Amino acid sequence: MHSHDRTTYFDPTEHPHRRRNLLTGEWVLVSPHRTKRPWQGQVEKTPPEQRPRYDPTCYLCPGNERAGGVANPRYESTYVFTNDFAALLPDTPDEDVSGSPFFQTQAETGTCRVICFSPRHDLTLAEMPVADVRTVVDLWATQVEELGNDPRISYVQLFENRGAMMGSSNPHPHGQVWANGRVPTEPAKEDLQQRAYFERNGSPLLVDYLAAEVDAGDRMVVENESWVALVPYWAVWPFEILLLPRRHVRQFPDLTDAEREDLASILKRLLTRYDNLFETSFPYSMGWHGQPTDGGDYPHWQLHAHFYPPLLRSATVKKFMVGYELLASPQRDITAEQAADRLRQQSEIHYRQR
């Protein structure tokens, strides 16, 4: 780095800088001065504010026929089924089929399921009663336990895409679970960094990181006895959230009854703040990362959830991951601290219920 005479001191709220993602080892460029630029780019359509409790054309509503021709039962709580158009199949021959170092291919086995959070078409996790969110939490745990006990499965990925902006093909409240024969790319990167930290320090990375974040305080958003939701120091998406248990927990099924109850509560509180930020059903992709289920030893792992919402300035202006982000490094305009402060200012009473 070249040295220059500077007339001002470095200010992370004003000057461009890089922050390292401890979970992946990668860097993000932060450019807080860019929030002053005018926006003349694409403006998104906002989703309709009102949806019916039941939609006869929805392939996820109770009793309706799905695209694959199977009829849903008239379920009254949560409902899980194998995806009719699964990206992974259990009967794929599991072998290395590479014939050249330049054209490497591996067969991939697994299964994909759809999780309907509620029979009601018009709700999201933010608007569901805490007791119903708790039912979803318990279902996540049973799915990880069931699929993770299959010796053919090495990783169980729970996730939800909310909103058309994040690729959801159906507004009915639902998520997915994909179970892989091999550990996918993102959890594998996190495993590498957590393992290296544990070998150096003898304690889990995310347990120590959470202690440092609680001490700093300026990126915390919402917390309770068992959980903390914060904007990570290295956040890429404008209002990204990292949700962490206070206790060292390696995988979802290990959560206690109290931790599951607290998780249902903090999810509703966090997602209500999201919706209130721009008074819209806040789009995001979220997912849970727990230890692999391949029978290995993972004392370094800590369960956590990532929330990646695209909205940047309003309900209609989103962050695009293009150009520099695709070719060089992720980049963000508002700092993590500014994002956390804006989320902390939001009410926990949903704007539709005021």
Residue 155 tokens read as: 């990783």
Residues 107 and 340: their CA atoms lie apart, in Å, by 42
Residue 14 has pLDDT above 90, yes or no: no
Q: Which amino acid is at 268?
A: K
| Mean pLDDT within 59-68 | 94
What would the pLDDT profile of 165-198 be if each residue is shown by its tens digit?
Answer: 888 889 999 999 999 999 999 999 999 999 999 9
pLDDT the model gives residue 33: 72
Cβ(78)–Cβ(117) below 8 Å? yes
What would the pLDDT profile of 226-265 be if each residue is shown by its tens digit?
Answer: 999 999 999 999 999 999 999 999 999 999 999 999 999 9
Overall pTM > 0.85: yes
What would the pLDDT profile of 117-147 be if each residue is shown by its tens digit?
Answer: 999 999 999 999 999 999 999 999 999 999 9
In percent, the amount of the chain with pLDDT more than 70 equals 92
pLDDT the model gives residue 197: 98
**Where residue 39 falls among pLDDT bands split at 50, 70, 90?**
very low
Residues 220 and 211: their CA atoms lie apart, in Å, by 11
Cβ(317)–Cβ(311) below 8 Å? yes
Q: Which residues are catalytic?
A: 174
